[in-house]
Amino acid sequence: MHFKMFQSCSLIALLLATLCAAQTSEGVKLPDTPIGRTLGAFLAAFNTGDIQTLRRFHAEHGDNEELAQQDIDFYGQSGGLKLFKVIKSSDFEIEVLAQAKQDGRWLQFIMSIEPATPYPVADIRIHPALGPSDTQPSNEPSKETMPPPVAKNMTEAEIASSLRAYLDDLAALDKFSGVVLIARDGKPIFEKAYGLANRAKNLPNNIETKFNLGSMNKMFTAVAIAQLAQAGKLSFDDTVGKHLPNYPNKEFAGKATIHQLLTHTSGLGSYWNAKFEAKKASIKSVADYLSLFAADPPPLEPGKKFQYSNSGFIVLGAIVEKVSGRSYYDYVRERIYKPAGMKDTDAYEMTAETPNLAMGYTLEGAGTGPRHENTGSRPNRGGPAGGGYSTAKDLLRFHIALRENKLLTKKYTDLITTGKVSMGGGKYAYGFGDESINGKRVFGHNGGAEGIASDLSMYADLGYTSVVMTNYDPPLMTPVVRRIREMITLSR
């Protein structure tokens, strides 16, 4: 388990069978489903703030007891969580609005579990959220933040018109700032920019603005690894130690495989620790990231289960460097961005003057204060796990390059984009998510953190691409992505 406020993160916590958890102490009724009972059980254990209770929780459910320390770290940041309302729920995934007891900050809390007993928790994502417009707990979503109903069988012109009206309304309420693009067979049918890229300079976003990708760089790392596999330079079954013989944790390196790193089943967590906080302003290389965690034991045994892992993709970046003999940044620039025509994609350093780059803005206080720049939460330079920059048009070019097999053969393109391990309502492939929306297959990746949210959705059988990029917090992107996915999949 690894918690980090306002970052995409993963949780290893299993069902606490002795607790019913249909009703929380705050009076919000959770659904009587596997995910509802699991969330209630976790909150009951987490809100004790007692490390011994959490250690017993993990021990009783097959986890490493030391995961309790990471629970306590997040408890120290939040003071516990108060559930306010259920936004959306299925049998195996739930999205709720919660409040940190320590400072009243509002949080979007999304939990997913594996769809089989004992329903282990597959993933938890925590993002800043807008506060509710009412003051009483409710299980009903706020009408103010929900997208309007989507009509079926819309023409492309109707999709564009409906989306334009929806985004114009959001932008007028300062609930969206960024770029949205929809294309069919590589040709845009909708593209428009909203809001400001830089408030201090009063510079507007435009269709060529570069936005922070968050975790979306994982797709590029996966393609790089697959290119090396296609060339016969490595195998997905190779251990970490085969290519990184000097990896500090020898036991991990001898067990964990490239396949496990790519599917978030290596046992590693994420590098958001005290070392990261101390060094993030000076990070420039993959080695800088690797030094944050490589000597530490992983939270889980390799191969045990899915646990979203940013650290795992840093290790993959180090393998790319070792096998190719080039820096990770040079490799992806020359072997992925250049052949795909992605001229505005790279891992720019914060200290560099990069033209047409969007500054991220996050809400202060309890999610209702003014927006401020997110520079304090970002590392100096992104890497194999995320934090690079791109544009909506470059992400469209990336999809075209994948589809036309410019980066990999069809065999390897299919291999990395086809789901392999369960992840809530979908599956995770090699650096790509893979799910079904209204019976239509959609693969891609998203990313989010304070003042950062981007999504690339590729509709495998329909020929569509949708890109949403914003320099606001992730909850303001989520309904836009959902609406676009609904419009496309219900109309084709």
Segment 365-393, tens digit of pLDDT: 545 568 999 999 899 999 999 999 999 99
pLDDT value of residue 58: 65
Domain containing residue 44: CATH number: 3.10.450
285/261 same-domain check: yes
Q: Which of 128, 147, 178 is the last residue of a domain?
A: 128
pLDDT for 28 beyond 60: yes
pLDDT value of residue 299: 86
Q: Which residues contact 134 (CB under 8 A, 6 or more apart)?
A: 142
Segments forming the whole domain that contains residue 41: 8-128
pLDDT for 3 beyond 50: no
Mean pLDDT of 298-305: 90
193/116 same-domain check: no
Instruction: Encode pLDDT of 98-150 as tens digits.
Output: 988 876 777 888 888 878 888 877 777 776 676 675 333 333 334 444 545 78
pLDDT value of residue 330: 98
475/337 same-domain check: yes
Mean pLDDT of 210-232: 98
pLDDT for 34 beyond 80: yes
Q: Could you give the C-alpha distances from 198 to 131, 181, 195, 336, 372, in angstroms and in order?
A: 25, 21, 9, 29, 11
SS3 68: helix
318/179 same-domain check: no
pLDDT for 218 beyond 90: yes
Q: Which of 329, 353, 374 is the last residue of a domain?
A: 329
pLDDT value of residue 14: 23
37/80 same-domain check: yes
360/482 same-domain check: yes
pLDDT value of residue 113: 81
pLDDT value of residue 133: 52
pLDDT for 12 beyond 70: no
**Does residue 402 lie in a domain region?**
yes
Domain containing residue 239: CATH number: 3.40.710.10
pLDDT for 11 beyond 50: no
390/480 same-domain check: yes
124/164 same-domain check: no
pLDDT value of residue 134: 37
Strand order in the sheet with 93-100: 8-9, 121-128, 106-113, 93-100, 81-89
List own/partner pairs for 482-487 with CB under 8 A and 24 or more apart. Answer: 482/147, 483/147, 483/150, 483/163, 483/166, 484/163, 484/180, 484/182, 484/457, 485/437, 485/442, 485/457, 486/150, 486/437, 486/438, 487/150, 487/154, 487/159, 487/162, 487/163
State the angle between helix axes of 67-78 and 51-60 in degrees (0 to 180), rounded to the nearest 10: 140
205/283 same-domain check: no
pLDDT value of residue 137: 36
Instruction: Encode pLDDT of 69-99 as tens digits.
Output: 666 766 776 788 999 999 989 998 898 989 8
**Does residue 2 lie in a domain region?**
no
**Does residue 136 lie in a domain region?**
no
pLDDT value of residue 429: 98
Mean pLDDT of 336-356: 96
pLDDT for 283 beyond 90: yes
Beta strands in 38-165 (DSSP E): 81-89, 93-100, 106-113, 121-128
Q: For residue 165, what pLDDT band results from cuts at 50, 70 and 90?
A: very high
pLDDT value of residue 391: 98
Q: Which comes out higher in pLDDT, residue 141 or 338? A: 338
205/244 same-domain check: no
**Does residue 142 lie in a domain region?**
no
334/189 same-domain check: yes
Instruction: Encode pLDDT of 436-479 as tens digits.
Output: 999 999 999 999 988 999 999 999 999 999 999 999 998 889 88
**Does residue 194 lie in a domain region?**
yes
Q: Is the peptide bond before 34 cis (omega within 30 degrees of 0)?
A: no
pLDDT value of residue 369: 65
Instruction: Encode pLDDT of 306-331 as tens digits.
Output: 888 999 999 999 999 999 999 999 99
Instruction: Encode pLDDT of 189-206 as tens digits.
Output: 999 999 999 999 999 999
- Count how many domains the chain has: 3
Q: Rounded to whole angstroms, how far apart are CA atoms 298 and 249? A: 9
**Does residue 447 lie in a domain region?**
yes
| Percent of the chain predicted with pLDDT > 70 | 85
pLDDT value of residue 139: 36
**Does residue 369 lie in a domain region?**
yes
187/79 same-domain check: no
pLDDT value of residue 187: 97
pLDDT value of residue 7: 38
pLDDT value of residue 76: 72
pLDDT value of residue 140: 37
Helix or strand holding residue 396 (H, E): helix 392-403
Dig out the tokens for 99 from the structure: 């409040």
Average pLDDT in the chain: 87
pLDDT for 57 beyond 80: no
**Does residue 145 lie in a domain region?**
no
Q: Which of 304, 329, 354 is the last residue of a domain?
A: 329
pLDDT value of residue 423: 80
pLDDT for 257 beyond 60: yes
Q: Could you give the C-alpha distances from 55 to 111, 239, 431, in angstroms and in order?
A: 20, 30, 31
pLDDT value of residue 27: 72
| Percent of the chain predicted with pLDDT > 90 | 65
